[in-house]
Structure 1
Amino acid sequence: MTFHPACDADRRESVRTVADLWTSGDAFLPLQTSGSTGWPKSLMVPRWAVQQSIEDSAQAFQLAPGQRTALSMDVAGTGGRMMLWRALALEMSLQVLPVSRQVDWEGDLDFLALIPQQALAFSSGQWTRVRTVLLGGAPLQVHEEQALAKAPTTLYHGFGMTETLTHFALRRVGEDPVYRCLPGVTVESVDGALVIHAPSRGVEALQSTDAVTVHDAHSFTWLGRLDGAILSGGKKIFPEEIDRTIAAAFPGHPPGFAGGLADAQWGEALVWYSEPLSDIQRARLITAFEALPSWKRPKHILEGELPLTPSGKWKRKLGS
């Protein structure tokens, strides 16, 4: 393990501390959930379950001792922590980088795990210096998927959570919306929610807050978060699904997204937030709405500055 010269003292100390957790040989390891199955909380997870997740990743991405990788994420989170432990357990050659949206490393890499915002900031030359990239930590918005699909490397989006010890299913970015489970993992849908079975990782009937279409026990398509659904006229609408349909019907549409607005008639009205449109763009957008069932069509187009959360994500629900 080597540190990039730009890593400050806090970064070096935090990485060494988390590395020591692995090398200590302790039977249980600490992780912090993000809230995918409820309120965020701290967990002590069995070492053998973490080891199984690492072995599953090694098989999926053909990882081996001596291969080159880098750590670009904060080790306070599960993604960064698991990447560090993965590299240590597999005896990979690891570069520790500063936590930054702009990721830079030395030489070529066999494997790199990133959040979408880091991948979107890549230069064209960086893509040719890494064999396989795994994205995680957040869903890909439609425009992000379209941009990343052009990357000249093998690019996966992982599906997982702390309780499943990170990714348990993968899909190729830009090719397929269907996630396929890693060996030993099966899924089902209960009342529209994803339920995960991964006994080799100690996971039994774990119910998430993700809405999915399950194709079989080993594959599914993500629709959105159940806790992010818009309840309009007594029906649940998943805004991410609306985004995907509009992107297909109106490729390259001006930046915008589906969201909900408190409404006396509907409870929540499905609306489309958009940057300012020309008359032609507005007409094309309205035509694109016709690709949706009538009850899933946005009731209004709200033009202007897109509403964002403090962290820069789309703010899909607004009050009246």
Structure 2
Amino acid sequence: MAWIKIEGQRIDFHDLQDFHPSSPNSENIVEFANSWLSGHHSFEFQTSGSTGKPKKITISRTQMECSANMTMKALSLTSSDTALLCMNPTFIGGKMMIVRSLINQMNLVVIEPSSNPLKELDEPVDFAALVPLQLINAINNSDSFKKLKSISNIIVGGGQVSESVRQEVKSLDNHIYSTYGMTETVSHIALQLLSKHSDGNHFTALDGVEIGTDERECLAIKAEVTNNSLIVTNDRVEIIDSNKFRWLGRIDNVINSGGIKIQIEQVENTISEIFNSFGLVNRFILKGFKDDFLGEKVILIIEGKIDGKSLESLSQYLPTKLHKYEKPKEIHFVDKLIETPTSKIVRNTDYKIVSSIVI
């Protein structure tokens, strides 16, 4: 039987029933693993709102087994591999790392979720799941970066991967994937290779996943993980072929400025490239603010500070790369962008502005 390393102790999974965790994170992992091993047939999860308002849903054991098998096949994972769990185990992404380990009899190393869990990693692992912030911080720490490069397969979920990060990992020899998925699809149903040999910015659906669009051009998904029911998302996509699609952004992340509909994520991608060219690593978001003339005006909200010279260059360069309606009318600075428990940036909130400029 495979083992789990939790709170520094290496324990056979079946012996977890006698383990007494000392942290809420460990308690969640132990409770779920014991429930799975005792044969529970269904589990309750909170959705993030990808297909509508957040709600609680029940996912069957069969669906989770199917999802795990699809991932293991896509990444060629074997029972000789060791997995790393350093995400919040309350949500589907963390739970599925446990399920994959149990089904495939992989060893599992548990590290408490943090902004850079690889700093605490003290033994080799072959497979890991990270959120974008964890990937960024691993890249920016020399010791963590060495560990990152040694992990054969890494899946990154819970948010967009910035252009600067893509540039950092595109030459790496290991396999780093951006994932597309949600609670309703029992974790990811498509992968996009970010590291060496990447063949573009599209996602490739896993075997057995059918994709299409509705009248809004939003992605629709049907697979065993959805109980062969059609799941219609709020994600606008461009279908390339029967198993490939390009993600354009959330249909509810549109700013209507002067009658022009602006897809936030597409503009953010361009701004990310500009940030990368200036060596800026600050996180940022675009928001629409009410405007008497335009209806909504585009505002760029940047986390932290940037020096005066970079700010001046940024202000001058943005209008050359963006349409006049896409160009931010103001830049606001905040101390910290708010995150959800799954490390997604919260857009729909009133941020406390530290300073701002009009451009």
TM-score (norm. length: structure 2): 0.78
Task: Please report the RMSD computed on the Cα atoms of aligned residues, expressed in angstroms.
Answer: 2.9
Establish whether residue 118 from structure 1 lines up as the match of residue 134 from structure 2.
yes
Partner of 1:202: 227
Partner of 2:259: 234
Q: Summarize the Cα distance change of 1:142–1:8 in structure 2 as closer, same or farther, 3 Å threshold.
A: farther
Pairing partner for 1:55 from 60, 63, 69: 69
Q: Summarize the Cα distance change of 1:117–1:273 in structure 2 as closer, same or farther, 3 Å threshold.
A: closer
Pairing partner for 1:308 from 326, 334, 337: 337
Q: What are the Cα deviations for residues 224-278 of structure 1, in whole angstroms up to 9, with x where unaligned?
A: 2222221222332122211222344674234455332211122211233455565
Match of 1:230, SS state, is strand
Alpha-carbon distance, 1:13 to partner: 2.5
Q: Summarize the Cα distance change of 1:200–1:125 in structure 2 as closer, same or farther, 3 Å threshold.
A: closer
Contact kept in structure 2, 1:2 and 1:96, CA below 8 Å: yes
Q: Summarize the Cα distance change of 1:301–1:143 in structure 2 as closer, same or farther, 3 Å threshold.
A: farther
Q: Summarize the Cα distance change of 1:314–1:156 in structure 2 as closer, same or farther, 3 Å threshold.
A: same
Contact kept in structure 2, 1:262 and 1:318, CA below 8 Å: no
Contact kept in structure 1, 2:80 and 2:106, CA below 8 Å: yes
Match of 1:177, SS state, is coil
Amino acid aligned to 1:98: E
Q: Summarize the Cα distance change of 1:88–1:36 in structure 2 as closer, same or farther, 3 Å threshold.
A: same
Q: Summarize the Cα distance change of 1:309–1:186 in structure 2 as closer, same or farther, 3 Å threshold.
A: same
Partner of 1:180: 204
Match of 2:52, SS state, is coil
Establish whether residue 160 from structure 1 lines up as the match of residue 174 from structure 2.
no
Partner of 2:249: 224
Contact kept in structure 1, 2:299 and 2:332, CA below 8 Å: no
In structure 2, distance between residues paired with 1:250 and 1:105: 30
In structure 2, distance between residues paired with 1:296 and 1:61: 39
Match of 1:204, SS state, is coil
Alpha-carbon distance, 1:166 to partner: 0.7
Partner of 1:137: 158
Q: Summarize the Cα distance change of 1:316–1:235 in structure 2 as closer, same or farther, 3 Å threshold.
A: farther
Pairing partner for 1:93 from 97, 102, 107: 107
In structure 2, distance between residues paired with 1:199 and 1:5: 35
Partner of 2:46: 32
- Unaligned segments of structure 2, at least 5 residues: 9-20, 139-143, 352-359
Deviates more, 1:183-192 or 1:78-87: 183-192
